[in-house]
Amino acid sequence: MYIIKKYFPEVMADNETAYFNHLFGVIESVDELCSMEITKKPTAYHFRIATSVPKYNELLLQEILKLHNLFNIRLNMSKSIKASATIVFDIELN
């Protein structure tokens, strides 16, 4: 899996590190050749995931939703997942 992180601090909180490790594990278990871009904005984390083959989109989306439901994290999903063949979502920071 190819990961690009933008605007991240050098030292992250333990909770954030644990969350990202879980997320990377879930994504890699579905598609180990995908690429992901994570941008830290002042008020949110912005994720963009491009699968290696479009057929993985639906399964990957299901697994991402399961993980976030388990942690009770609300996602703001993009509406153009099928059109763009990428999964885009935000997590608001409070």
In this prediction the pTM is 0.92
User: What is the C-alpha separation between 94 and 91, in angstroms, rounded?
Assistant: 10
pLDDT at 50 (0 to 100): 95
Dihedral sign for Cα atoms in the order 37, 11, 45, 18: positive
Domains and CATH numbers, the chain: 2-92 (3.30.980)
Q: In the structure encoding, which two tokens stand for residue 5, read together? A: 């992180």
H runs (alpha helix) in the chain? 14-30, 57-71, 81-84
Helix, strand or coil for residue 81?
A: helix
pLDDT at 36 (0 to 100): 97
Q: Which residues of the chain have pLDDT under 50?
A: none
User: What is the C-alpha separation between 73 and 86, in angstroms, rounded?
Assistant: 20
CB atoms within 10 A of CB 86: 19
